[in-house]
Chains A and B, each alone.
Chain A
Amino acid sequence: MIEVIDFTKQYGDFMAVDGLNLSIAEGEIYGFIGPNGAGKSTTIRFLATLLRPTSGEGRIAGHSVTQDPMAVRRVIGFMPDDFGVYDGMKVWEFLDFFAVAYEIPRLERRRTIGEVLELLDLTHKRDDFVNGLSKGMKQRLCLAKTLVHNPPVLILDEPASGLDPRARLEMKSLLSELSRMGKTILVSSHILSELADFCTSIGVIERGKLLASGSIQEIQRELRAHRVLKVRLLNESPERFAHVLKEHSAVKAESVNTIDRTLSAEFEGDGSAQADLLRRLIDSGAIVEAFDEEQLSLEDVFMMITKGVVN
């Protein structure tokens, strides 16, 4: 549905984005993450037909971003990272303005505006001046604006920035809801936990380069080589068993924590190697309370990727 091919953007000598390739299938929620200044907004603005690339191409629903921007605009709903609102307009006028700008007939407008206001829980603000809305409200209003022409693709640049925790949760469930309605969503953020639970795929970008891209499971699988096993023992002085780990061929490094009696091992093996390690530990007299792979949080993934551990 969304495809970026070798997108490069240069500002003077500075490479903001360098040969980025990306492919997002229909119905996905793609989380685009990276630290500040990584090039997220640059890529997103390119896809939103607002930025001429130094080189490269993008396609949305089969339309070329550079050749046929009008067709692209018809199918995308775009929410920029920073945006303003017009003065002297009420909420419904604001939405009507954009609905007309998307050439939606009047009858349909009446229905859609009501619907998006309902969906974003803004119905009670219908007759308020947009300028008087709080930051979070404006954020929701802008999201409402992206939905008035019912686009199949949503491109959202940090939609949750400036929202309180509760509003963030609401934003998440809203995006999941939209995804259930069959929309393809590209959403950027530098806060990973925001994307973790509802994105189907993520892409990690730093200094203009895509470091990793794929479904969350895929990326974690890629990180398999570096997973960490945690063994909690009931024995006194667990350090006695450290040699068992050391001698195992799949263990790259190990450490002991005597206080909570755990051994951890950086492990590079498959499932059977893992079972073998457990057997050996038990054979050598260890009383194993727990034997588990440490759950990598998205933060860890992110740190590992940006530290260059992967790729």
Chain B
Amino acid sequence: MGMFRDNPVLSRELLVNLRSHRAFILQFAYAGILAVAVLVAWPRVDDGRLGASVTAARQLFDLFFFGQFILVALVAPTFAAGSITGEKERKTYELLLASPLKPSWILIGKLLSSLTYLVLLLASSLPMMILGYLLGGILLSEVARAYLVLILAAGTFGLVSLAASSYFRRTSSALVVSYLIILPLVIVSLYLASTEDITLRNFVSVTLLPPWTIAVWSIVIGLINLRLLRPPDVGSEGKEVVDEEEEQKYAIGVVIDRDLFPDKLFAPAKRTDLMPDGTNPVLDKELRSEIFSQGTLMLRVVIQVSMFLSIPLMAGFLFWRPMPGWYICYVLTFNLLVGPVFSSGSITQERERQTINLLLTTLLTPGRIVRAKLLAALRVSTVLTLLLTEQVILAYALVRDLQLQFWTIIPFFLIILVTCLMTSSIGLLWSSLVRKTSVAMIATYMSLMALFVLPVGLYRWSLSVAQGVSDEVLRWILVPSPYAAAMSVLIVGDRPTNMGGDVQPIERPLAWAGVPIWVISIGLFLVISLVCHVVTLIAFRYRWWRARESV
């Protein structure tokens, strides 16, 4: 028990995390949102029909469970993925390792401190859950099981992120890799949890899940321990000097070769001679030096995991049933995950590494600097994202249903490209607004999640609330979401029966505009990108004068 009570890592982190006002404000906001959700569901309870309250309770319960599951998946990494990389970035990592603290203590301290807040959040939903339970129709055991699954998920996601944090040098790398590993776990769990088959649900959540989770935990804990016990060598000032060639030699799986297609698209070869005149030095530097400065590990993991995931999705959505919209949603999700990595750190890192003063006293104008940063981030994230689209092209070439509507590939690619632009622009915007990369990164993820998912949630919710309004009007809510844009591209063909007729509601034109969602979305994304860029420029110019005040 001493491990918990007298653990200096744990107590320090808890103090820092929980002392901030932000933590409490968030907690209140969260409880508030839950309360609103309950209130909205409540009136429908006494609309006279028997069993209506039971349906309402079930809906509420599902909403809470799925919402919180997604919340756990989103929030656990934001705390845990930075917990060890943060020490590295602050150069306190060596102090920690050199202390007599056992690695397992550090690990437990970091894990518990990153999850405490999340568990507090979950706990604050308990009263609302109970309220839902009082409506009837739900068993207490179901509530207990829901919380068991949530806690197991929090632990698993936290540990995965902690492992990433111990293997990477930057929070941004750790965060994106954690999200990528968690993504398939979330998809599978949500799929299993949404089945109507009660026995299957029970079997999975009570019999299958706990032992497997514990097994995974022990493996991951072992890995982290190993990493903490034998940290890699660090050079002067605690920085590792990455030798790319050396690293490639020991790489497992994909090897990135700057000289080969398509790698050279996002990672042009290093220069062997001076830059030609007229080069934008910032752009050149970003593409040739910065991307790999932290080693190729992160990129290799990202590429491998995304390719691995794309195989079943491709088989399912492109070849088995030609529903490319779903596959495009996966491509967009990938961009949502990797886009911020290359953009949200690009200004804050200059600040953190104290190179910003050197940069700002040169003749480079803020406009050129910001443009170069955007182009570099955009290029890397777009090329990586497009790597996943060769499957789409293949499908359009081979699948007859798609061949017949070959023109639909155009909106899909437009949506992907414009989304790439938007994710990078939003990342860069946050990078110019805040001081720390980790903050910029998390803010970017949150904004993008809001943009991608929130409209879908709002739309579904409005369907039940605003019953007098026609669907053509309500679907305007979906416009900001790239997912909705992708799903709104009309594809006719062999669909699974539960999806209904040939033209889906989401594919029908919007009210007033008379065009489907994606047309408006593309325009909106361009506008958002432009606005972000302008605000970034203003913020950067402003900071440029206040450089000292913001250090």
Contact = CB atoms under 8 A, between A and B. Distances in A.
B544 to A, nearest CB: 8
A41 to B, nearest CB: 8
B363 interface: yes
Interface string B65-92: 0000000000000000000000000000
B357 A105 contact: no
B290 A42 contact: no
Given A50-B548, A52-B546, A102 B274 contact: no
Interface string B213-246: 0000000000000000000000111010111100
Given A80-B357, A102-B363, A131 B235 contact: yes
Given A106-B277, A132-B235, A87 B354 contact: no
Interface SS of B by simple majority = loop
Contacts of A145: 358
Contacts of A51: 545-549
Interface in A249-263: none
B386 to A, nearest CB: 24
A86 B241 contact: no
A300 B266 CA distance: 60
A83 B355 contact: yes
Interface in A167-197: none
B373 to A, nearest CB: 13
Nearest to B289: A88
* A49, A50, A99, A110: most-surrounded residue (chain B CB, <10 A): A50
Given A11-B549, A97-B285, A73 B361 contact: yes
A101 B362 contact: yes
A93 interface: yes
A101 B281 contact: yes
Interface residues of A, number: 44
Contact of A70 (B277, B285, B363): B363
B240 to A, nearest CB: 8
Contacts of B279: 100
B363 A103 contact: yes
A63 interface: no
A134 interface: yes
Contact of B281 (A78, A85, A97, A134): A97
B236 A132 contact: yes
Contacts of A48: 357, 361
B545 A52 contact: yes
B360 interface: yes
Contacts of A29: none
A310 B236 CA distance: 45
Given A11-B549, A101-B281, A87 B362 contact: no
A86 B546 contact: no
Contacts of A97: 275, 281, 284-285
A73 B358 CA distance: 11
B42 interface: no
Interface in B238-258: 239, 241-244
Contacts of A120: none
Given A42-B548, A48-B361, A106 B290 contact: no
B294 interface: yes
A230 interface: no
A84 interface: yes
A17 to B, nearest CB: 12
A50 B550 CA distance: 11
Contacts of A70: 363, 365
B364 A101 contact: yes
Residue of B284, B292, B359, B363 ringed by the most chain A CB atoms within 10 A: B363
Nearest to B275: A100
Interface residues of B, number: 40
**Most central of B292, B358, B545 by chain A CB within 10 Å:** B358
A83 B357 CA distance: 7
A206 B277 CA distance: 45
A134 to B, nearest CB: 6
Contact of B354 (A52, A82, A93, A109): A82
Contacts of B289: 86-89, 93
Nearest to A79: B358
Contacts of B362: 73, 98, 101-102
Contact of A134 (B236, B275, B285, B293): B236
Interface in B282-307: 282, 284-285, 289-290, 292-294
Contacts of A105: 277
B269 to A, nearest CB: 13
Nearest to A50: B547
B49 interface: no
B355 A101 contact: no
Contact of B355 (A73, A86, A133): A86
A279 interface: no
Contacts of A101: 281-282, 359, 362-364
B5 interface: no
Contact of B274 (A50, A52, A106): A106
B290 A87 contact: yes
Contact of A89 (B282, B285, B545): B285
A74 B292 CA distance: 32
Nearest to A82: B354
B286 to A, nearest CB: 10
A186 B364 CA distance: 23
A172 B546 CA distance: 32
Contacts of B363: 70, 73-74, 101-103
B293 A109 contact: no
A268 interface: no
A96 interface: yes
Q: Which of A76, A105, A131 has the most B CB atoms < 10 Å from its CB?
A: A131
A198 interface: no
B277 A49 contact: no
A88 B281 contact: no
B276 interface: yes
A40 interface: no
Nearest to B279: A100
A59 interface: no
A135 interface: yes
B271 A85 contact: no
B21 interface: no
A244 to B, nearest CB: 58
Contacts of B235: 131-132
A145 B357 CA distance: 12
A87 B294 contact: yes
A45 interface: yes
A93 to B, nearest CB: 7
B353 interface: yes
A2 B548 CA distance: 21
B323 to A, nearest CB: 42
Given A51-B548, A132-B235, A132-B241, A84 B355 contact: yes
A241 interface: no
A129 interface: yes
Given A11-B549, A49-B360, 12 more contacts: A50-B547, A78-B357, A82-B354, A83-B357, A86-B290, A87-B353, A88-B289, A97-B281, A101-B362, A106-B274, A109-B274, A110-B274
Interface of A: 11, 42, 45, 48-52, 70, 73-74, 76, 78, 80, 82-89, 93, 96-103, 105-106, 109-110, 113, 129, 131-135, 142, 145
Nearest 3 A/B pairs, CB to CB: A87-B293, A88-B293, A101-B362
24 contacts: A42-B548, A51-B546, A51-B549, A52-B545, A80-B357, A83-B355, A83-B357, A83-B358, A86-B353, A86-B355, A87-B242, A87-B294, A88-B293, A89-B289, A98-B281, A98-B358, A100-B275, A101-B281, A101-B359, A102-B363, A103-B363, A105-B277, A109-B274, A135-B236
